[in-house]
Structure 1
Amino acid sequence: MTPADLSRCVVGAVRRAVADGELAACAVAPERVVVERTRPGGVGDYATPVAFQVARAAGCPPRDVADVLARRLGAEPGIEHVEVTGAGFLNFVLPAPSAPSVVRDALVRDVVIRDVCGGAAHAVPADETGLGTRERVVRRSVLRLLCARGGTERDLPEQLPEQLPEPLPVAPLAKRDRDVVARYGSDAAHWAMLAVPARETPVFSEVLLVQGEASEFFRVRYAHARSRALVRNADQLGFHPEAGDVDAPALLRLLADHPLVLESAAHHRAPERLTRHLVELADALLDFQYRVLPQGDEKPSAAHRARLALAEAAGTVLAGGLALLGIDAPTRL
């Protein structure tokens, strides 16, 4: 079971509990359940407050709903442990993600995101709408996230919506920042607009123009460019990526979490959640890059091919994440 599968598994457990009479017939199973990484100090790997949502319709305490769901989900293959905490939070422990499955899922999401970003560019008219520059940028990014959330082909809508289903309050740019696109370029300006919650006023600084570690914007795009450079360099050495087992727990965890980040960012209308995740992923990839290519007299091996496949998958996820933000991902920097 992957983290992305967990949401659908929880929905299925709610529906079966209602059908079997363990939960009141008036209980309604949500179409989607947001599962997120457990916060520091929490229990398990992932958590969801779905019991509170179901309990409102069922007319019973959330803890009772959570206990029913925990018994059912604890028997699901691929879930190592389920624990109920607090008033009814469900907490899960999943097996460590495997590199081949992470690489495969990254490729599937890439196809979906390219379809979404190709269509979403036309979903919101580019003409003057009376909206502020930042409001257009935030709304377009949220629209893409809503279309791409979950990152699987079965989640992709047949037709992209033309507008958000409900209002989204967005703080405008400060008067002094009306020319930020001209000052910093559209990609850097968009990053700054999306890196803070929509209700907060973004802050722009010269760090956006720095090509070094001090700039998160640079690090994300540089990590993507490095992943592409690794593939080019490997080709010159005569080997190509091939998915296999890799000992890279930090990078694997971040890649496995990516569908949940897309889901959470879409659910909360919060592109800043995606920007934070991309920074973490970029930093993990930049640390990992030194293990990918053969060193000295080493000959390319299956381990090198597997590491290259993982690095390429990480670069693909970075490019897709930037596309959802409306930002270019250059292959060379």
Structure 2
Amino acid sequence: MTPVELSRTVLSAVRRAVDDGELSVTVPERAVVTEPGPGGCGDFATSIALQLARPAGQPPLRVAEILRPRLAGTAGIRDVVVTGPGFLNISLDAQADPVTGLVREIRRQGARYGHGDALAGQVVALRVPYEVRAEVVADAVVRIVGTQGGRATVEHGEPVNLRPVPAPEDPAPLGPDAAQWALLHPAPHDRPRITADHLVQREGNPLFRVRYAHARVRSLSRNAARLGFTAEPGPLTAAADPEPRFPLAANGTEAAPLAPPVGAGPAPLTTVDNSEPRPPLAANGTEPAPLGPSVGAKPIPPTAVNAPHHNAPHPTPNGPTTPHHPHHGPTPHPGPDPTPLVRALLTPLADHPRILTAAATHRAPDRVARHLVTVADAVLPLLPFVLPVGEEKPSAAHRARLALAEAAGTVLAGGLSLLGIDAPEHL
């Protein structure tokens, strides 16, 4: 069950309570579902009871108790607990994994993920002044309205109904992509900045982070193919998918892996895509530090590029060096748990359909631009956990993490396309 499906389930519970006469309220258009806060439990939480308490004329706890059994009896929900002033904490069945369901949904819909019928059959007439920012915003609104089943037309002249604050100067020198971003990223009432900051390939540039994140995801997909695996939604932790080791030989030692086919050339020393996007050289000719993880994220492990060779000699207490045999010791630790990073990415991915609907309804492409920054900032810290490290073999966890990263890449590419900006394969 995805967060979007769970939100619909919550609204269905409210509707049933109204039909049964236990609540006298207007069913809201949406129910916000997030990960539990401090003091919460389960997989997701919703504050719908607090939202409905005043119009229902009942305490939030009473509203929550009315909704709890209706939610608990829904397929895919294992338990519902009321905490605090009236928060509903929802635990899903194991087979109703929200991450797997959401990733599969994004993979199924592809570039159409988030498209809906909120404006089906409607014609949105846009009347804009003869000004470059108004023209660019209107052009983006036409595309975004189309994602919700509507059709938008653009006309000039009074009365104007779409008049963003004009650009202070011609944005053309920034180039097509940076100019589009400079005009679309700010809210309509904010004056856009037409500066070279939009061209700087550094972490402080939101456009760079969005395009860099997409290019990194595409690079991971290429490197995974070279390692012999592809994306497949499923469990994201290595502990959930222990990979079998090579079978033991008759003498109890581990058998060697299968040799390559006769006539095959030697295996490459690395399987790293040389087109991995890297920040450009600074003015002094040195390479700047790569983008770091988000504040509070766990340390990033070495990637398959710079991981130390596990069979390299290492010093012993007596002085001489001895080779290290990785398979003669205990099973390697599965590594840091990426679950917090997964949760941080799950919310903006699940929120993408709502963002598109709101942007189309309010004629606000800036909402899409800011949402893309949120998705990029959430996926970048997860990317170092996607590929195997060192001599680690590709597992179902790696395939699932790659599928989640590719889902984020799909959202980034689709959003950039709606804004009229290129989503690069290499950067």
Q: TM-score scaled to structure 1, two decimals?
A: 0.72
C-alpha separation between the residues in 2 aligned to 1:198 and 1:36? 28
Q: What is the CA-CA distance between 1:246 and the residue it aligns to?
A: 1.2
Partner of 1:331: 425
Q: What is the CA-CA distance between 1:75 and the residue it aligns to?
A: 4.6
Q: What is the CA-CA distance between 1:290 and the residue it aligns to?
A: 2.6
Could you tell me whether the CA contact under 8 Å between 2:233 and 2:400 is conserved in 1?
Answer: yes
Could you tell me whether the CA contact under 8 Å between 2:221 and 2:230 is conserved in 1?
Answer: yes
One of 344, 350, 360 as aligned partner of 1:259: 350
Extract unaligned runs of 5+ from structure 2: 117-122, 155-159, 238-337
SS of equivalent to 1:162? strand
C-alpha separation between the residues in 1 aligned to 2:38 and 2:139? 35
**How do residues 1-333 of structure 1 correspond to structure 2 at under 5 angstroms?**
1-24=1-24, 27-30=25-28, 32-35=29-32, 37=34, 45-47=44-46, 60=57, 63=60, 68-70=66-68, 72-76=70-74, 77-78=76-77, 80-81=79-80, 83=82, 92-93=89-90, 95=92, 98-113=98-113, 130=129, 132-142=131-141, 144-145=143-144, 148=147, 157=149, 160-162=150-152, 170-174=163-167, 176-177=168-169, 179-180=170-171, 182-247=172-237, 248-257=338-347, 258-264=349-355, 266-267=357-358, 269=362, 270-333=364-427
Could you tell me whether the CA contact under 8 Å between 2:140 and 2:420 is conserved in 1?
Answer: yes
Between structure 1 and structure 2, the one with the greater Rg is 2
Cα deviation digits, residues 47-91 of structure 1 (max 9, x gap): 4568757965x7x458465653355335544375464877xx865
C-alpha separation between the residues in 2 aligned to 1:48 and 1:143? 34
- The one-letter code matched in structure 1 to 2:384 is Y
Q: What is the CA-CA distance between 1:144 and the residue it aligns to?
A: 4.8
Q: State the Cα RMSD in Å.
A: 4.0
- The one-letter code matched in structure 2 to 1:215 is N
Partner of 1:151: none
Q: Which has the higher helix share?
A: 1
Q: What is the CA-CA distance between 1:4 and the residue it aligns to?
A: 0.7
Could you tell me whether the CA contact under 8 Å between 2:234 and 2:400 is conserved in 1?
Answer: yes
**Please, which moves more after superposition, 187-196 or 203-212?**
187-196
Cα deviation digits, residues 233-260 of structure 1 (max 9, x gap): 2223332222231143244324432232
C-alpha separation between the residues in 1 aligned to 2:412 and 2:50? 33
Cα deviation digits, residues 121-155 of structure 1 (max 9, x gap): xx9899x953543334445545655554xxxxxxx
SS of equivalent to 2:235? coil
Count of aligned residue pairs for this structure pair? 306
C-alpha separation between the residues in 2 aligned to 1:276 and 1:94? 30
C-alpha separation between the residues in 1 aligned to 2:114 and 2:33? 24
C-alpha separation between the residues in 2 aligned to 1:206 and 1:172? 20
Question: Taking every aligned residue pair, what percent have the same amino acid on both sides?
Answer: 40
Q: What is the CA-CA distance between 1:218 and the residue it aligns to?
A: 0.8
- The one-letter code matched in structure 2 to 1:204 is I
Q: TM-score scaled to structure 2, two decimals?
A: 0.58
Distance 1:137 1:124, change over 3 A: farther
Q: What is the CA-CA distance between 1:208 and the residue it aligns to?
A: 0.7
